[in-house]
A = this chain, B = another copy of it.
Amino acid sequence: MSSRLLGYRGRAAELLQKFNISVGDYITIKSDVSHIGVLMPRYHYSDDTHIILKLDSGYNVGISIQNVDIITQHDTPSLPKDDTTCPKADAGLPNILLLSTGGTIASRIDYRTGAVTPTLDAADLSQSVPELYRMANIHPQEILSEYSENITPEDWLKVAIHIHNTGAKYDGVVVAHGTDTMHYTSAFLSFALAGFPAPIILTGSQRSSDRASSDATLNLMGAVSAIHNKIPRGVYIAMHSGTSDDIISVHAGTRVRKHHTSSRGAFRTIGGAPLYSVQENQIYGDTQHDYYHDVSYTPRINISRDVALIKYHPGFDVSILENLISSSCRAVIFEGTGLGHVGREAYDIIKKMRQSNMFVGMTSQCIDGRVGMTVYESGRDLLQLGITPLYDMLAETALVKMMWVLGNELSWDIMSRPIASEMKI
């Protein structure tokens, strides 16, 4: 396989070679109908009977190589020379800081070079999504280059510090991020930058850009459009809604989780509807809502890893907790059963944890609903042992909040007070 044909093999590669076409070329494919667009790369596990084009609309299509008559190459669609590097600022448009951390969304740009290393720069953007520059002056910066399963709490600090240092002069910040742990990062930014004056929107892509139905362009457009349309301050995740081809849901960064491994509408607000949606560059939702409840900007950008997230289940081995007591661990967030329970087998060790001055918080593995620890005897027993019920806070958010509480040496009481829309008491 030629490196010009990254990922193409077998019959598809032969066809492209016949017409002397490379990945990144702007081409017309004639079969039953004609398609015009940029040839995208494929991955090794793909079939050899389809060619992927990115159309001018930003959508990708997969075209069967059966019945292809002819492929012709054109010049790249003309944009003013300036625009392909960095468009001139338009004083009437908002200024947006676009931070790239890696992930599928950032590797989508690379069809020009064939490389799949995560990278995202102004020239890439203006060429692939020129519509962005009609809504905002985009100021891209790459600060990390990681798929999000590898993002660490220390990486969260880098992102938060960067936004703290440079973000305030922009009308909004967009963070391009892998989807796997995007909701952990959004929770951290919510607490660390509580009250930050401009909106911070994380976005990503569930489908890599060599696939038809990639959502990369749409999600990025949605995030920029939300800022263009004056979404209020707060930390959000903007991702495809999954219910329609052109709706982006904008979720509160502390109330959202990745809830499907692969679908484009993978992110879900738990316990209600997403705060906003964006469709055809309009925003819907209550733009008077304040994510931070009138708090002024209070940056507290530290983190501690000394928190464990423990899902309780029948047959749970309490020696895991025993080991935590003798480790550096200072807090445990339980994902209990039902309304916030663990079995009687764990009571003694929880008592010891509390005697060792560990914080023990309770969320529910049910995900939907809220803990209610006064309803049954088990819950009341656990309250007696000194467990802190965490209302309807998501387990992931509770974990991150506690890491932030410890990192900033804040009072444990803060776990029971809403900071950034993370729970209703």
Which A residues have a C-beta under 8 Å from some C-beta of B? 43, 45, 147-153, 155-156, 179-181, 184-185, 208, 257-263, 266, 303, 305, 307-309, 311, 313-315, 317, 319-320, 323-324, 327, 329, 335-345, 364-372, 374-378, 396, 399, 403
- The answer on a CB contact under 8 Å between A317 and B329 is yes
- Across the interface, A344 reaches (CB within 8 A) one of B150, B336, B375, namely B150
- The reply to whether A152 and B372 contact each other, CB–CB distance below 8 Å, is no
Residue among A148, A319, A376, A399 facing the most chain B CB atoms (10 A cut-off): A376
A181 x B305 contact (CB < 8 A): no
Q: What residues of chain B lie closer than 8 Å to A305, measured between beta carbons?
A: 315, 317
Q: Tell me, in angstroms, the Cα distance from A156 to B313 when the chains sit together.
A: 13
Say whether, besides A150-B378, A341-B180, A259 and B367 are in contact (CB < 8 Å): yes
* 22 A/B residue pairs, CB under 8 Å, sorted by A: A147-B341, A149-B341, A149-B378, A150-B343, A151-B343, A155-B314, A179-B338, A180-B337, A181-B337, A184-B313, A258-B337, A259-B367, A260-B368, A261-B340, A262-B372, A266-B369, A305-B315, A309-B311, A311-B311, A311-B335, A319-B323, A367-B367
Question: Nearest CB to that of A366 among chain B residues?
Answer: B261
Indicate whether A263 sits within 8 Å of B184 (C-beta atoms), given known contacts A179-B338, A323-B323.
no
CB <8 Å contact, B372 and A181: no
Task: Tell whether, in the assembled complex, residue A181 and residue B309 are in contact, meaning their CB atoms are under 8 Å apart.
Answer: no
Q: A317-B308, A317-B327 are in contact. Are A260 and B366 (CB under 8 A)?
A: yes
Q: Assess whether B153 is in contact with A315, with CB atoms less than 8 Å apart.
A: yes
Interchain CB contact under 8 A, B317 and A320: no
Q: How far is the CB of A209 from chain B (nearest CB, A)?
A: 13
Q: B403 to A258, Cβ gap below 8 A?
A: no
Q: How far is the CB of A312 from chain B (nearest CB, A)?
A: 8
Compute how far the CA of A95 lies from the CA of B307 in the bound complex, rounded to whole angstroms: 52
Q: Which 4 A-B pairs have the closest CB atoms?
A: A261-B369, A180-B338, A149-B341, A180-B337
B147 A378 Cβ-Cβ under 8 A: yes
**Assembly CA distance A374 to B189 (angstroms):** 31
Cβ A184 vs Cβ B314 within 8 A = yes
A262 to B, closest residue via Cβ: B369
Known contacts A181-B313, A266-B366, A313-B399; 6 further A-B pairs (Cβ under 8 A): A149-B342, A150-B345, A259-B367, A261-B371, A262-B369, A320-B324
Q: Which residue of B lies closest to A303 (CB)?
A: B315
- Minimum CB–CB distance for A341 against chain B, Å: 4
Residue of B nearest to A363 (CB): B261
